[in-house]
Amino acid sequence: MSETFDFVIVGAGSAGCAMAYRLAEDGKNSVCVLEFGGSDRGPFIQMPSALSYPMNMKLYNWGFESDPEPGLGGRRLATPRGKVVGGSSSINGMVYVRGHAKDFDTWEEMGAKGWGFRHVLPYFKRQESCPDGEDGWRGTKGPLHIKRGPRDNPLYQAFVEAGRQAGYPVTDDYNGRQQEGFGPMEMTVHKGIRWSAANAYLKPALKRGNVKLITRAFAHRVILEGKRAVGVEYDVGGQVREVRARREVIVAASTINSPKLLQMSGIGAPEVLKKAGIAVAHALPGVGENLQDHLEIYFQIKSKEPVTLYSKLNWFSKGLIGAEWLFFKTGLGSTNHFETCGFIRSAAGIEYPDIQYHFLPAAMRYDGQAAFPGHGFQVHVGPMRAKSRGFVRVRSGQVREAPQILFNYLTHPDDLPEWRRAVRLTRELFQQPAMQRFAAEEIQPGRKVNADAEIDAFIREHCESAYHPCGTCKMGDAKDPTAVVDPECRVIGIENLRVADSSIMPQVTNGNLNGPTIMIGEKASDHILGRQPMAPSNQEPWINPDWKISQR
């Protein structure tokens, strides 16, 4: 069985959905989207506060995990990726962060010409519908609806005020001119519903009639004729099929599956392919390398006052919250509960923030259960630009076998010193007057964790992935031997084949990855269509004028 379309997109995730929408927008092109997952219908995905459920369900999650990590004492860390329409935007925490302006300028310095902040800002604006954002810096007419939580719980404001008392700036829009500081956090929620890339982009695109979505489609390989991509081989329920592309094949299958698909197609480092028993079609040594991520811990405090979400964790309260959401799409079911945040620099001499805080008015475990029997609250905190790098490599030619994933967390000598600063600066935050009204003793790390060696041991034992893997099909100059795609997302050395998703990021951005991944889909669409990129912005982001001599 074989069909032919102008464009074939592998992966209905954050970037894939955006590209399906834009490539089909003028009605001139036919687009086929292959997605191994199924429907995103149902409250577990669509109800924002149910976010811990889909990530822990095999139905919606690929269920990857890392190899034993040498820097974590041999621990394996979960590496969830969305296996559903909408991809990881259907199972993530819905936090919306563009990243800092300097992130994108760094991309350009690393060889991704045309991806500096001035180039990507117009695409962020094009994707956004954010009426609460800073005038002139945010989009208001895009498909992706972005909102702020009501911040009714007093702990939200106390956290921001504690940041101010500690000497940090307050910023009303960290996605606007000034990221650095404390303020309200944004979420991809619209009218009480998770506003995934599927809801924002794919479903409207499917209504046009020139986009076809094939679910339960497991991609085996990109079909090559010499050095030219002509289609994709996939199966549905064990029946092998082909879909052909008149113009281009676009891989948007995630930081884990995009390099795997290239490798299964014979594109990659020859030694990796030969070890897996795969014939080399095109030597490209950077495929699967440069893997990076954010680590985080839950810094947890017992609460003196019964104002946290602990009282809502019983089944009766959950039932009431669920009923209100089901009938009205309002109440505690309509938020992800990450409603305030902070971005700070960990030391003088660091130009822009390298530590991020997500504040949550509950003390939770990773599985969504209470951390202890009582009221507590927490921040998710971790350094944003760890220097350790890992890889994704196929193990064999068996298409269904999960690839080898190794992040090499905490293996760079600079990684743990950054963590020590993050822990100590966080502890200082909770000692500010605004938080002292609420803050009792630490649940974790705990007061006994003070010395460098004690903090190091705690981090190694308790850190978890923030689920922001990226970088495995690095974008760079075509002459860069470590680059996989050029600045127009074209796979170097192969015609009619592109990669456009979080895997092409040369370096991880300062924040959650969903926003910039959608931006990649938006900008890649113009490159694919051969359009002139949007005119660069001349807006200047705020950088702390005293960054060379002051930490805050």
Residues making up the binding site for FAD: 6-35, 84, 92-95
Cβ-Cβ contacts under 8 Å for 70 (sequence gap 6 or more): 408, 411
What is the phi-psi region of residue 367: left when phi exceeds 0, alpha when psi lies from -120 to 50, beta otherwise? alpha
Q: Look over the chain and give the mean of its residue pLDDT values, rounded to a whole number.
A: 97
Cβ-Cβ contacts under 8 Å for 446 (sequence gap 6 or more): none
Average pLDDT over residues 323-329: 97
pLDDT digits (tens, 9 = 90+) for 362-411: 999 877 777 788 999 999 999 999 999 999 999 999 999 999 999 999 99
pLDDT at 230: 98
Q: By percentage, how much of the chain surpasses pLDDT 70?
A: 100
Round to whole Å and give the CA distance between 439 and 208: 53
Cβ-Cβ contacts under 8 Å for 510 (sequence gap 6 or more): 97, 99, 100, 102, 103, 179, 343, 352, 353, 354, 356, 384, 385
pLDDT digits (tens, 9 = 90+) for 83-128: 999 999 999 999 999 999 999 999 999 999 999 999 999 999 999 9
Contact present, 332 and 321 (Cβ < 8 Å): yes
Flag whether pLDDT at 2 surpasses 90: no
Round to whole Å and give the CA distance between 394 and 278: 9
Helix (H) or strand (E) holding 327: helix 315-328
Class (C level, CATH) for 152-184+295-383+411-462: alpha beta
Round to whole Å and give the CA distance between 514 and 136: 22
What does pTM read for this prediction?
Answer: 0.98
CA distances from 467 to 24, 64, 513 (A): 30, 11, 9
| Fold classified for 1-149+191-287+470-534 | FAD/NAD(P)-binding domain (3.50.50)
pLDDT at 371: 79
Average pLDDT over residues 427-447: 97
Domain ranges of the chain: 1-149+191-287+470-534, 152-184+295-383+411-462
Q: Please give the torsion angle defined by the CA atoms of residues 187, 192, 193 and 195, in that order, rounded to the nearest 10 degrees.
A: -30
Q: What is the 3-state secondary structure (H, E, C) of 44-112?
A: HHHCHHHCCCHHHCCCCECCEECCCEHHHCCECCEECCECECCHHHHCCCCECCCCCHHHHHHHHHCCC
pLDDT at 226: 97
Average pLDDT over residues 486-507: 98
Name the DSSP class of 537: P
190 an active-site residue? no
**Active-site annotation holder among 145, 462, 468, 527:** 468
- If one counts every other C-beta atom within 10 angstroms of the C-beta of residue 39, the result is 12
Contact present, 86 and 75 (Cβ < 8 Å): no
pLDDT at 1: 60
Closest CA to 514 of 41, 198, 105: 198
Residues making up the binding site: 6-35, 84, 92-95
Q: Please give the torsion angle defined by the CA atoms of residues 336, 380, 79 and 347, in that order, rounded to the nearest 10 degrees.
A: 140
Round to whole Å and give the CA distance between 133 and 333: 23
pLDDT at 370: 78
Residue type, 80: P
Residue type, 226: G
